Amino acid sequence: MEIEGKRVAALVGDGFEESELLDPKRALEEAGAVVTIVGVDDRALQKIRGKKGLDEGQSVKAEEIVADVTADDFDAILIPGGMSPDHLRMNKEVQRFVREFDLAKKPMFIICHGPQILISAQLVRGRTLTGFASIADDIRNAGGLYRDQPVVNDGNWVTSRNPQDLMLFNRAILENSRRPVPRNPSSGLTPLAIVADWALGAPTLWHSRHVPCSASATMSLCNRNFRCRRKTRCRRHTRPPARGRVRTR
């Protein structure tokens, strides 16, 4: 299966190792993938500081916020190392995001300190992986099997140790990206299946982000606080009202 058009989320926080983001990103984009940088807050939309070894590296801007997206919006995820994973690992939305990828068996590309996020998301037990040497004990203590190898493949995971392994890591990423992405049964038969809007009595579209919430409201989008504009609702943000009650707003 070709990589052309596949969507990859790059989960990035302050202190990311520059080469571990930009090199795989460049390799994926040259192969035709679309890489989207995902940050954790609105500040990331302005600047995410990078590092290059011990020196300050290139900064990037987030294109999406992790609370606004799900694994259904992407085909794979890239988690670079550096100090970024340690800053991100306790964020509940970050943990939710990576769990969704693993549950859907979508490709996950993790390098250097990236497994710290997997540890905090409680995904490592029983898995075989590698990472930066200093977190080998953390991986073992979380129930994982650590391998001191340039690249380790385990199911939908591709893990690597450090920037010196980037050439092999990029090659493994491209090979893994060519595999078919498993279908998520919870996503429905079509991305715009019309269902009943229990609260409003109007048809509502089951959608990913940037699709109109309601068939009766042209291009009305969900904002970052998940409050739909103009009395429109979407599947992610609406629950049926209790029996005998009509919810209005």
CA distances in angstroms from 7 to 4, 29, 67, 73, listed in the order given: 9, 10, 18, 8
Q: How far apart are CA 182 and CA 75, in angstroms?
A: 9
Among all chains, which residue has been given the structure tokens 């609370």?
Answer: 67
Nearest residue to 173 via CA among 38, 40, 55, 80: 80
Q: Is the dihedral of CA 101, 160, 135, 60 positive or negative?
A: negative
Q: Distances in Å between the alpha carbon of 31 and those of 60, 144, 160?
A: 21, 32, 20
Distance of CA 60 to the CA centre of its chain: 17
Q: Which residue has the tokens 């009595």?
A: 201
Asked whether 30 and 206 are in contact (CB, 8 A), the reply is no
Active site residues: 112-113
> Residue 48's beta-bridge partner residues?
60
Residue holding tokens 């999406």? 64
> Max Cα separation, the chain?
63
